[in-house]
Structure 1
Amino acid sequence: MADLHFELVTPERLIRSEDVHMVVVPGSEGEFGVLAGHAPFMSTIRDGEVAIYKTAGSSPERIAIEGGFAEVNDKGLTVLAEKADVPA
């Protein structure tokens, strides 16, 4: 399966822009996973962690986020977070 283009953005800067296997997002209605080819939609997000799987079967990299929106479209997944705690 093709890779998913993922972007994580805060008001201050672009945190990530890369192709990954899957991303799990803490939606306000519950967590949801996004793979390449996912149906388009938008969701508000709650405070939690975005889990980024770079390849199938890999351990996820986790980034804590606070609030915002997620949009899935034909170009990929964009998470617009109010705040993101990026590991050093």
Structure 2
Amino acid sequence: MADMSVDMVSIERRLWSGQASFVSATTTEGQIGILHGHEPVLGQLVEGGVVTIVGTDGERIVAAVNGGFFSVTGATVRILAETADFASDVDVDAARAVLADPNASELDKHAAEGRLKAVEQSSTL
């Protein structure tokens, strides 16, 4: 199986860069999976979405993303998230507290939902 060059960055930092065999992302059009040789595409990431990267060594990287874009060519994937958190860094109790807070903004609630989805997906892999 051929590999792709993948970069995942947020406004604050570069989260991950390397070679991967598979990438999936939650977009405004639904869930998309990317393999090497995929047709070029530009997509919009949803608020409270999840990106999963499978590295060439089999490592699975799962991140909660809150908005942004991704760009795909035949051999590259660039994920440009407004905000992103690795599932392993998510404070589950804090995310649940945001969801339970009636005064939390819709944006904060979407971000909390995405964080919980990322944790859920990383624990089922």
TM-score band, normalised by the shorter chain? Answer: 0.7 to 0.9
Q: TM-score, normalised by structure 2?
A: 0.63
Q: Within 1, Cα distance between the matches of 2:31 and 2:60?
A: 15
Conserved 8 A contact 2:4-2:19: yes
Q: Within 2, Cα distance between the matches of 1:10 and 1:75?
A: 21
Gapped regions of structure 2 (runs ≥ 5): 90-125
Counting aligned pairs with the same residue, the percent is 33
Gapped regions of structure 1 (runs ≥ 5): none
The equivalent of 1:48 in structure 2 is 49
The equivalent of 2:5 in structure 1 is 5
2:40 alignment partner AA: P
Residue 23 in 1 paired to residue 23 in 2?
yes
Over the residues paired in the alignment, what is the CA RMSD in angstroms? Answer: 1.9
Q: Within 2, Cα distance between the matches of 1:59 and 1:3?
A: 14
Point out which structure has higher relative CO (alpha carbons under 8 A, 6+ apart).
1
- 1:24–1:35 distance in 2 versus 1, CA, 3 Å: same
Q: Alignment length, in residue pairs?
A: 87
- Higher relative helix content: 2
2:52 alignment partner AA: A
Q: Within 2, Cα distance between the matches of 1:29 and 1:61?
A: 22
Q: Within 2, Cα distance between the matches of 1:54 and 1:75?
A: 14
2:71 alignment partner AA: E
Q: Look up the SS of the partner of 2:23 in the other structure.
A: strand
Q: Which runs of 4+ in 1 moved over 4 A?
A: none
Q: TM-score, normalised by structure 1?
A: 0.86
